[in-house]
Amino acid sequence: MVRRKIVAATGCPTGIAHTFMAAESLKKAAEEMDIDIKVETHGQVGIENGLTEEEIREADGVIVAADKDVNTERFHGKRLVEVPVARGIRDPKTLIKQIVNEEASIHHVKGHTVKTETDDSKKDKIESVSKGKKNIIHSIYKNLMNGVSHMLPFVVGGGVLIAISFLFGIHSADPNHETYNEFAAFLNKTGGLAFSLMVPILAAFIAESIAKRPGMVVGFIGGLLANDGGAGFLGGIIAGFAAGYIIILLQLLLKKLPQSLNGLKSIFLYPLLGIFLIGVVMTPLMVPVQELNTSMMEFLSNIQSTNPLLLGIVVGAMSGFDMGGPFNKAAYLTGTALLAEGNLYFMAGVSAACIAPPLIIAFATVFFRRYFTKEEQNAGLVNFVLGSTHITEGAIPFAAKNPIVVIPIIMLGSSIAAVLTYMFGVQVPAPHGGFLVLPVVTGAIKWVFSILVGSLVGAVIYGLYRKKIANNLPVEE
């Protein structure tokens, strides 16, 4: 009997953990089901293990578990299952069964033709359109996260350089201050330049996800307009989506031009008309979006100073709920935006809440060692490293085994860490790095204490839960 063949692509916004965890889950499930699979990963370093045209052609179907653009146009005519990356981690066998049992619909890309169209293929096309309508929200999220994934290296690299410059003194980059240091000024200027590109890069790659390369330049200019106009992060998101759909509109309007002018469209008409139109769209939006952006920042800052308990609970719950997913990213990106505005307090709580989940798992596997398998114990030790470097996703495999119980425990631990961080008034000037940026943290000891308290509380509760389900019997080593 010929083994079935499946190809897959995985990708997450940060390209650090979810991407590869989903790939491993799919490979493991395929091996257990006696199915050949090749998984292409879209990580932070780019595409690895890329799929060839021949591999796609020979495959029975395609699984895309991604929260970013992985170029699904190349899968035209194949059975396609497209889901968030978390589904690839949690439920790989169900995804594979949809291909094997031919339950997945045929993926059709507009502008491509199919040689023959049977009743079944017509049915598949209808199902694909229907499914596409249901996936609008995921599509919007995927476009947004494509922007976020390309923006993060600028934010992290630039933010950490700025933070390092503070080691020489808070005002060490100011030539008029007595603590001025030339090297610190260099770090601050270089990091600030990278950080300042956050909004334009975000907008550019949202637009690129929607309209491919023609959308990128229009999105970038839209992001610059938003940044210069004070519309900030929200303005960048609006600019990215507006730019992408402006290019889609132009492609429809210019569709009837002779094919010989395709080069002219790409290099002249799309940039010229697109930049003009994004300017027309963004200019009247600048004032209301700027006011909305400012109001949101002020609201969060006010809650932070007047009710740190409430803010810590909200930030902790968001960060711990999906550990790198949409809610976690919303809290993180809000912290990043506030960091750009000079608010160093909000990010401190977000970072604490993101560091806590893997540490909860790590401490639990140490203190309640006998209730975890050898494989889980090893993974727990790895979580010490992941947590210390602000990589939340290490907790996901443990949470996935019983999310209804484990996720609330993680949310509790994250919330405690965030609440204590805000109550102590800790300041963290870097958007990433975990304990590696401790030298530049104001209130570093209090920050570590806050994280450890939240992590230990969560670890004890999680450990007791594992003890209970094990019926007080040790797990075989």
Q: Which residues are catalytic, by number?
A: 12
| Tokens 């307009």 belong to residue | 225
The alpha carbons of the chain give a radius of gyration, in whole angstroms, of 24
Cβ neighbour number for residue 165 with a 10 Å cutoff: 25
Q: What is the dihedral of CA 354, 356, 361, 367, to 10 degrees?
A: 170
What is the edge-to-edge ordering of all strands in the sheet holding 5-11? 46-48, 36-43, 5-11, 61-66, 80-83
Query: CA separation (Å) from 22 to 65, 355, 373?
Result: 7, 21, 21
Report yes or no: 105 and 135 within 8 Å, Cβ to Cβ. Answer: no
95 φ/ψ angles, rounded to the nearest 5 degrees: -65, -45
Contacts of residue 222, defined as CB under 8 A and 6 or more positions apart, other chains included, come to: 203, 207, 236, 239, 240, 242, 243, 278, 281, 282
What are the tokens at 134?
A: 């249901």
Q: Give the pairing type, strands 46-48 and 5-11.
A: unpaired
The two structure tokens encoding residue 5: 């063949």
* Cα 371 to Cα 76: distance, rounded to the nearest angstrom: 47
